[in-house]
Structures are given as C-alpha cells and as structure tokens.
A and B are shown apart, each in its own frame.
Chain A
Amino acid sequence: MKVHEYQAKKLMKARGIPVPEGRVATTVDAAVAAVRPLMEETGNKVVVVKSQIHAGGRGKGRFNEHPDLGGVTVVTAGIDGGVSAAEEAVRGLAEKMLGSTLVTVQTGPEGKQVNRLYIEQGIGIDRELYLSVLLDRATSRFIIMASTEGGTEIEVVAEETPEKILRVEIDPAFGLLDYQAAQLAHDLGLDGDSHRNGLKFFKTIASAAVELDTDLLEINPLVVTTDGRVMALDGKMSFEANALYRHPEVAEMRDESEEDPAELEASEHGLSFIKLDGSIGCMVNGAGLAMATMDIIKYVGGEPANFLDVGGGATADKVAAAFKIITKDPAVKGIFVNIFGGIMQCDVIAKGVIDAVKEVGLEVPLVVRLEGTNVELGKQLLDESGLDLVSAADMKDGAVKILELTK
C-alpha cells in the first residue's frame, strides 16, 4: 500500500527522523493559510508547493492543463515581498494545481489528478544524496541502499555508475550496527556535524523501515543542509499489505482515490486483480497459472485485459464477483476461464460462472478450460446450464479459440 509524501513524512517525523516542516492542503484557501505560520515558525522565506499523488517524478512532471507548470514548484516571492507576496504566489499555484492532471514518468500518459498539495518550508541544500531501505531477496535481509548521486533516478545510477551504489546489510538479530552507520557516513562523504547527524539518521531510518513493515522506504533526495543537518527532503513509502493489520495508523492513510476502481473492488472480494491494456479477459486460479495464461494469450497473438487470480479456496460467490469485474471492462472482447482444480474444485468454478452469467448476462465470447478435481462434474454443470460457451482441451487450445472468437 502506497501513501503520499506528506503521510510518509508524518510517520518519519513521529520516529525522530528530520523532515522539513509542512502542511497539507486540499483547498486553495488552506494552501494559502499554510504560508504564514510556516514562514513564521521556520524563519524561512522560501516555501515549496508539492503535488501529492502516488507517483514519482513530480518535479519534472507537467500538468495537462498548464504545460509550463511542474508538479513541485519553489516559491521565492517571499524573499523580497514577505508573507503576503508568498501567499499570493501560493494562491496562484494552488488554483492551477488542484484539480488538474499531472503527468510524470511514472503516471503513464493519462496522468493523475492532484487533489492534495503539501506546502513545505524551503531548505538550504548543501548536498543531495540518495537512501532507501528495502529487502534484498538474495540474502533474505533488509539492506540500506545509498548513493552520493541524489536527486536523479536511482535506476539510472545503478545502470551507468553501479560503483556509486552503496549497500549495507542489516542483520535482523542486531539491527544496523554503529560501525556500519559510520562506514556509510564516511562513504557518503559526510563529515563534522553532518557525519554525527548522519549516524543517527541511518540508525533511526533502518529501524523505522523494518518496524513499520515497509515494502520500500526511499528518500531521494536525502539532503545535507547548509548548516550540517541531514534531512529527508522527499519521502516515498509503501507498506506490505500482509503486515497492515499491526499498523492501524498506517492502514488509515490509504487513499482509495489513487487506486484503480476495478482493482479496489477486486481486493474487497479478496481477489488478486491487475488491469492491463488488452482485450481478452482472463479468470484463473493460482498466481503462477494466471501469469502463464496471460503469457499464452500473448504468445498466440492476443493481448490480455487483466491478471486475475481467484485463489485456491474460492467460493462460487467469489468466482461470480471476479466474473463481474471482468465483464465490466468495456475493452474486454472475450473471456478465457482457465482452471486447474487442485483444492479448488471445478464444479465450484462452474457454478460461479453460471451464477454470474445469469446475473449480469454475457455479451462476449467465453472459452472455458477446466482440468483437475471434479472436472467431469464441472463440465456437466456447464453443459446443462445452456450457456453459450466454448470448451478448450488445454491452455493453448483455449488461448487460440478465444483469440479467433474475438477477431
């Protein structure tokens, strides 16, 4: 589960990790109202207006409605003009940004609507670094990944100058040790105050990331300020869904307006669903088989419309819900149901499909491939239902048949 930057910073701040002061705003007036207290509290005349969407690349991103405007904009009007000039500048920006669509490298061409702004104090930056905490699957341990090349995309750094990526392994039994933090501070070129502040930052961030069950905690840039502080200027956090039960304060931060409506509906039914761009809907049991089904559709020349795993213990109700989600997508020109019943019994799947079609109707071709437990019973149910469907002998046969029917 992803959260917004302002939420990530709130979580970091609560754990003693230095972040700039800021206020979140969902209206133009609230954005303007944030300026005065922020400037007075921090004594800083620069503020930054940051679009809050669940995607990176906001600074370089542009609004569809305002092609010259970036998603993160620095307001310097306060330096000469004081609070009121800064307020007017923020008003102008907020009026343009709120409700407009921001397109970044991560949003895709359709972009994302900006519903929230984060008004933040400006920071005097000496250096920009990169830091993230993530799982290293090869060692089954969390690691800190860091680089002196902050502010740029880390994938690019990893590709072009891999020697500039530092990795520190965190032993789950001991956490990040002092010597590891010191080595990291040294390797990042921190000295004096920034070295001391860096040690504390690294140890705090390492334990926070693990304790909060983050999937990824990424700070880009991590900055060294002109007065030697080490601070998270940006903050990107995503959380492991399986561990949300023990972090109610994080679960509350979920912003459903950032999620695909179909994926959201699927997750409410306990289904694993991902929307894709193609025209052949698929319903499969098991994640591996569901991926392989998408692959074979593509292999025979089609394009899958979705990934959908109904799971191992699905009921007829769940199957019906899955079927409805697929048929709701106007891009779907045909449906391929591919089931290998192990624990999941074929007759249960068959019943779910029949129920769903009875309820929502079926306007596109349907190919069903059933194999495994209670397969004969499942096929019999489908035959007797009078549904207009085509049976497939195996996966490839099914993929070929649905492709032909949708041409």
Chain B
Amino acid sequence: MSVLVDKDTKVLVQGMGKTGRFHTDTALAYGTQMVGAVHPSRAGTTEVFEGETDHSGVQGRGDTYHAELPIFRSVAEAVAETGATASVVFVPPPFAADAIMEAAAAGVELVIAITEGIPVADMVIAKRFLVGTDTRLVGPNCPGVITPQECKIGIMPGYIHQPGKIGVVSRSGTLTYEAVYQLTNNGLGQTTAIGIGGDPVNGTNFVDCLSLFNDDPETEGVIMIGEIGGTAEEEAAEWIEQNMTKPVAGFIAGTTAPPGKRMGHAGAIISGGQGTAEAKIAALTKAGVVMAPTPTDMGTAMQEALAAR
C-alpha cells in the first residue's frame, strides 16, 4: 500500500518541452506508467524514449526500455485515449495555472505541478477552480510524488528511495532528498514521499498528507519537513494533536532566516512576526512530534519517534 500513486497509476505529461522530456525519460527508466503527453503545437506526433532501465525503480524489468508516447492537443483528449488518472505539469509559469485547471476540468484525479514561479494570483484562481471538483493538486513548485519501486512522478532522484513504512511530506525539494537518504541509510524505507512545494498557495498541505498517511495501513510513521512562512506547520501540529495515531518526526528549516526576506521559495518568508521557525518548532513539539535539532538528525529523529511507541 501507499498513498496517491502506485504501480497502476497512469500518468500524462503536460508540457513536453526540454524539462518535461528529461523527467519523462527518467520516470520511464524508473518504470512509471507514462502514457502520453499534452503539447498542442505537436499534437498528433509521437515522442520516443529509450535507454537503460533504472533498476532502483520497478523491479523485474529488462535492462533497457523503449516507449512511444502519443502527443495530444488537449488533456480531455489525452484522458479519453489513454485512461490516465494522473498528470504532471511542466508547463512554463505564465500558462501553468491554466494547465492545472484544464486537467481538473478533464477529470484528472491527481495533478502534480512541478513548475516554479507561477504568479500567486493565478494560483488563487486555480485553487478556487478546484473547489467542488474531484481533483487533488500537489504543488506547484514541488519535486513531485514517489512510491518507491512503483511510481515516480516528478524530478526527484529515484535511486535514493527504498520501499518501506515511512511516509514523507515536505515543502522543500533537496531537503526531502536529504531526509529520504538518511531514512534509507538507517534502514527505514518509504511508503510514499510527497513534496507539497514551496509556494504560498499550494494544492495539498501538511494536514492532507498526514491524514492520508494516518489512514494508510502500510505507513507506520511520518516525517514532515517544514520551513519558515505561513502557518501550515502550526495547523499540522493542531491536527496531529487531535487525530494522528502514528509517530511523527519533523524538521523546520529557517531558524536563522531574517524576517521580511524571501528565502528562495516564494512561500518562505517571515512577515508581520508570523511564520517563524521557533513558533513552528514549539507547536510541533507540543503536539508530540520528535523534532530533529539539525538537518543531519532527521533519520535518527524518525527512529526515535518510532521507538517511543
């Protein structure tokens, strides 16, 4: 078991430019079922992928892969032809929010938006558009979602992951890789790792992911990695205190971040005294989350949290 994606998930790519093509290729090497792409200017053509299999991905495959992906004009057409239930968005920022809404209108269940730099006002509209639909948006500005050895959607390096019992949820890309790497080295595999993204408006938040992991029978513990800005971690702390039945470990980046400065991520800013690392760490600690004092201690914090049960 896992959350959001598994070996049967059929995935569309929205935006088959250079970046989209590169990450479609690594996903195919990993064994993800990539079934087609939407790129209106190249509709009707086929994109060919081949290379050496990434054996850290889906097991039991040959040493090479070959795939021919049909390119469609619209998401609706692509869904009708391929039966895809998930899409990954690499569309450039000015057009990305529209791509998300198009996918939702076409009934795609899971939309994972990798694109960084989408204007906030566009995302506010996209988020409003999603109200009342059955679509879950992950991201934008995120590394994606991976269920080790089953399905990799996004830009994360597959080989650091290993199947197991830990759910991972994070606002940061490389910090997620750091955490996953430590977990894997400590013998703790992952059920699913979800990057929720570094933007101030995102589709899926910590509480959504904690709830998914809490309900997933395979997941035995969760590590959540937050950062300064907003109050999503405080809301997560409250939810954990009231609902979480599984051990949680955590880390918050940005203890040394000066107020009023945007720390790389559009959402990582302390403003009006809100969103400090101290407040988040205090709230999570109060909720019983085992906090890693430094980013090097994320793996051991998870072990401690598991051992405490």
Residues on A close to B: CB < 8 A?
135, 137-138, 140-142, 154-155, 158-159, 171-173, 210, 213, 215, 240, 242-243, 245-246, 272, 274, 276, 284-299, 304, 307, 309, 312-313, 340-343, 371-373, 394-397
Contacts and interface: CB of A to CB of B under 8 A. Distances in A.
B273 A274 contact: no
8 contacts: A137-B201, A154-B272, A172-B128, A287-B227, A287-B263, A291-B256, A295-B254, A342-B157
A94 B171 CA distance: 49
A296 to B, nearest CB: 5
Contacts of A341: 157
Interface of B: 19, 93-94, 117-125, 127-128, 143, 155-157, 160, 170-178, 181, 198, 200-201, 225, 227-232, 235, 251, 253-258, 261, 263-268, 272-273, 277, 293-297
A289 B261 contact: no
Contacts of A171: 128
B103 to A, nearest CB: 18
A287 B264 contact: yes
Contact of A342 (B119, B120, B155, B267): B155
Given A295-B254, A304-B256, 16 more contacts: A135-B124, A135-B200, A154-B272, A155-B273, A210-B121, A286-B172, A286-B174, A288-B174, A291-B256, A295-B253, A295-B277, A295-B295, A342-B177, A371-B178, A395-B296, A396-B294
Contacts of B253: 288-289, 291-292, 295
B263 A140 contact: no
Contacts of B254: 291, 295
Contacts of B157: 341-343, 372-373
B155 A312 contact: yes
Contacts, number: 175
A291 B122 CA distance: 27
Contacts of B178: 289, 292, 340, 371, 395
A144 B241 CA distance: 32
Given A299-B294, A342-B156, A240 B172 contact: no
A213 B254 CA distance: 26
Contact of A298 (B225, B256, B296): B256
B24 to A, nearest CB: 14
A276 B229 CA distance: 18
A309 B264 contact: yes
A307 B265 CA distance: 12
Contacts of B251: 292
Nearest to A290: B264
B119 A242 contact: yes
A396 B296 contact: yes
B7 to A, nearest CB: 23
B88 to A, nearest CB: 14
B30 to A, nearest CB: 13
A264 to B, nearest CB: 14
